[in-house]
Amino acid sequence: MQDLAVNLGIDVLFKGTNFIRLLGGLWTALWISLVSVAISIPLGIGMGVLMTKKNRILKAVLRVYLEFIRIMPQLVLLFIMFFGTTRAFGWDLSGEAASIIVFVLWGTAEMGDLVRGALISIPKHQYESSEALGLTNTQTYLYVIIPQTIRRLIPLSINLITRMIKTTSLILMIGVVEVLKVAQQIIEANRMTSPNGAFGVYLTVFLLYFIACWPISMLAKYLEKKWS
Partner 1 sequence: MDLNAIAEYLPLFGEAALLTVKLGILGIIFSIIIGLICAVVQYYKVPVIRRIVSVYIEISRNTPLLVQLFFIYYGLPKVGIPTDAETCGIAGLAFLGGSYMAEAFRSGLESVDKIQTESAYSLGMNKMQTMRYVILPQAISVSIPAFVANVIFLMKETSVFSAISLLDLMFMAKDLMGMYNDTVEALCLLVGFYLIILLPISIVGTIVERRVRRAGFGS
- For the chain, the maximum distance between any two Cα atoms, rounded to a whole number of angstroms, is 77
In the complex, the smallest distance separating the C-beta of residue 70 from partner 1, rounded to whole angstroms, is: 8
Pick 59 or 163: Cβ nearer partner 1: 163
Pick 81 or 140: Cβ nearer partner 1: 81
In the list 6, 154, 198, 223, the residue contacting partner 1 (rule: CB under 8 A) is 198
Pick 37 or 180: Cβ nearer partner 1: 180
Pick 47 or 170: Cβ nearer partner 1: 170
Q: Find out whether 210 and 133 touch, Cβ atoms under 8 Å.
A: no
Pick 47 or 208: Cβ nearer partner 1: 208
Pick 57 or 88: Cβ nearer partner 1: 88
Q: Find out whether 197 and 187 touch, Cβ atoms under 8 Å.
A: yes
Distance CA 67, CA 123 (A): 26
Closest CA to 188 of 202, 168, 178: 202
- Phi (first) and psi of residue 178, to 5 degrees: -115, -165
Region 66-125 residues binding partner 1, contact defined as CB under 8 A: 67, 71-76, 79-80, 83-84, 87-88
Region 114-173 residues binding partner 1, contact defined as CB under 8 A: 162, 166-170, 172-173
Binding mask 5-34 for partner 1 (x = CB under 8 A): --xxx-------------------------
Total of chain residues touching partner 1, rule CB under 8 A: 43
Q: Does 185 bind partner 1 (CB under 8 A)?
A: no
CA angle 206, 210, 213 (to 5 degrees): 140
How many CB atoms within 10 Å of residue 197? 25
Give CA separation, 79 vs 65, 75, 87, 135, in Å.
17, 6, 11, 50
In the complex, the smallest distance separating the C-beta of residue 209 from partner 1, rounded to whole angstroms, is: 5
Sign of the alpha-carbon dihedral angle for 69, 70, 71, 75: positive
Q: Find out whether 70 and 109 touch, Cβ atoms under 8 Å.
A: yes
Can you give the binding site for partner 1, defined by CB under 8 A?
A: 7-9, 67, 71-76, 79-80, 83-84, 87-88, 162, 166-170, 172-173, 180, 183, 187, 195-203, 205-206, 209-210, 213-214, 217
